[in-house]
């Protein structure tokens, strides 16, 4: 496999490889022993390399092979996943589209992506697939990665119920909404599929932006509000440190980090979770008033309570005004009809989970389809 060991170019190649993968001097000794053997001095020289050296070599080779395999596997992962989605989306098989939509919604075997789930559900639902229509209704009813919209949920559930889907009929009764609208497929940014998205999203791109958009719905927060706060606090620098010892993406002081269970303030996800937890607490505390919550985030909730409103501090007032304008601008660009900051209310109300609806009776197990989420 290695060709002529006595060939000079072969030995140079082996030495270069050995510098990367093998213990110091091992291959040199093997080459020397082989050269001696070629001259009739015997194979015993090779054995003098020692069992211990061979075992060390084997460990190194195994580690190198593992690293190589991981590198080869990870490099095309995202491209392969995108290719898989395109192939599934091109299918006309409604059951297949719905099955893969469920996988993307739940992150089963693929990276969770609600927008891809909606696209797949929507294609199957428009062809009349009752289960896909039901899943869309359930998604919008719970606000699971998208803005909760009872009227839109009811529109899709009615379609599924008209095709004799038992869970859709029961869920529709639990919603108790009188609003009627056409069944649309709205993605996580609130815009219909096919809408030209120029400046639709916050300019934050990459891992931190994706992390915020994935985590914010867990805390019932608009991702754009969180991104506006991160932008004002640290300008997306996870290593930011203020003179007042505020740390990380959301500039948590040690007391706030401890209060909200942050163990490593320099870990981006932990920092975001701590900041979002505090922001959600402030919104709950101040009855969903965004301006008061932002003032509390900057100056502390006690200062807001003491002054019965936004404290008369120049820094705090400028902070609230800057984030309010940024958030309002982003919301307007996404085509929202509400004016979330202008009226001082959080545009992402607490998701109205079906489990929280009063007097809800659990569905009989006989009516639950496979994969039903109670």
Catalytic residue set: 233
Helix axes 77-89, 114-126, angle to 10 degrees: 10
Give me the count of residues in the chain: 374
Element containing residue 157 per DSSP (H, E): helix 150-162
Token match 């509400």: residue? 338
Phi-psi region of 283 (alpha: psi -120 to 50; beta: other; left: phi over 0): alpha
Q: Phi first, then psi: what are they for 167, rounded to 5°?
A: -65, -35
CA geometry: angle at 147 spanning 144 and 151, to 5°?
105
Are 320 and 295 spatial neighbours (Cβ–Cβ below 8 Å)?
yes
For residues 280 and 215, give the distance between their C-alpha atoms in angstroms, rounded to a whole number. Answer: 12
Distance CA 262, CA 252 (A): 9
Query: CA torsion, points 148, 154, 159, 164, in degrees to nearest 10?
Result: 110
The whole-angstrom distance between residue 215's C-alpha and the CA centroid of its chain comes to: 7
Which three-class secondary structure state does DSSP give residue 278?
helix
Q: How far apart are CA 266 and CA 248, in angstroms?
A: 6
> Residue by residue, what is the 3-state secondary structure of 94-114?
HHHHHHHHHHHHHCCCCCCCH
CB proximity list for 118: less than 8 A, separation 6 or greater: 101, 136, 139, 146, 185, 186, 187, 188, 193
User: Cα–Cα distance between 213 and 219 in angstroms, integer?
Assistant: 11
């Amino acid at each position: 496999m290695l060709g002529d060991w006595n060939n000079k170019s072969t030995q140079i190649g082996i030495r270069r490889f050995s510098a990367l993968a093998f213990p110091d001097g091992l291959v040199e000794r093997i080459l020397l022993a082989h050269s001696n053997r070629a001259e009739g001095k015997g194979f015993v020289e090779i054995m003098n390399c020692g069992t211990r050296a061979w075992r060390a070599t084997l460990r190194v080779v195994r580690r190198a092979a593992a690293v190589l395999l991981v590198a080869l596997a990870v490099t095309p992962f995202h491209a392969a996943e995108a290719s898989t989605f395109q192939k599934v989306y091109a299918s006309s098989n409604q059951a297949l589209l719905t099955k893969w939509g469920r996988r993307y919604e739940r992150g089963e075997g693929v990276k969770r992506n609600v927008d891809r789930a909606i696209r797949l559900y929507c294609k199957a639902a428009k062809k009349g697939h009752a289960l896909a229509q039901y899943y869309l209704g359930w998604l919008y009813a719970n606000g699971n990665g998208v803005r909760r919209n009872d009227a839109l949920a009811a529109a899709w559930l009615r379609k599924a119920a008209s095709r004799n889907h038992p869970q859709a009929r029961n869920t529709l009764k639990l919603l108790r909404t009188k609003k009627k609208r056409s069944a649309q497929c709205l993605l996580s940014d609130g815009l219909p599929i096919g809408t030209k998205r120029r400046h639709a999203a916050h300019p934050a791109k990459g891992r931190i932006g994706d992390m915020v958009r994935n985590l914010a719905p867990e805390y019932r927060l608009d991702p754009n509000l969180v991104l506006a706060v991160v932008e004002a606090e640290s300008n997306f620098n996870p290593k930011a440190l203020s003179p007042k010892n505020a740390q990380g993406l959301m500039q948590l002081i040690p007391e706030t980090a401890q209060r909200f269970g942050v163990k490593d303030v320099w870990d981006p996800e932990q920092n975001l979770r701590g900041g979002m937890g505090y922001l959600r607490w402030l919104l709950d505390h101040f009855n969903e008033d965004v301006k008061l919550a932002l003032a509390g985030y900057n100056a502390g909730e006690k200062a807001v309570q003491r002054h019965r409103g936004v404290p008369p501090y120049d820094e705090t007032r400028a902070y609230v005004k800057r984030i309010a304008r940024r958030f309002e601008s982003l919301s307007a660009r996404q085509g929202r009809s509400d004016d979330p900051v202008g009226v001082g209310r959080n545009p992402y109300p607490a998701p109205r989970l079906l489990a929280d609806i009063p007097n809800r009776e659990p569905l009989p197990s006989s009516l639950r389809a496979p994969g039903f989420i109670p």
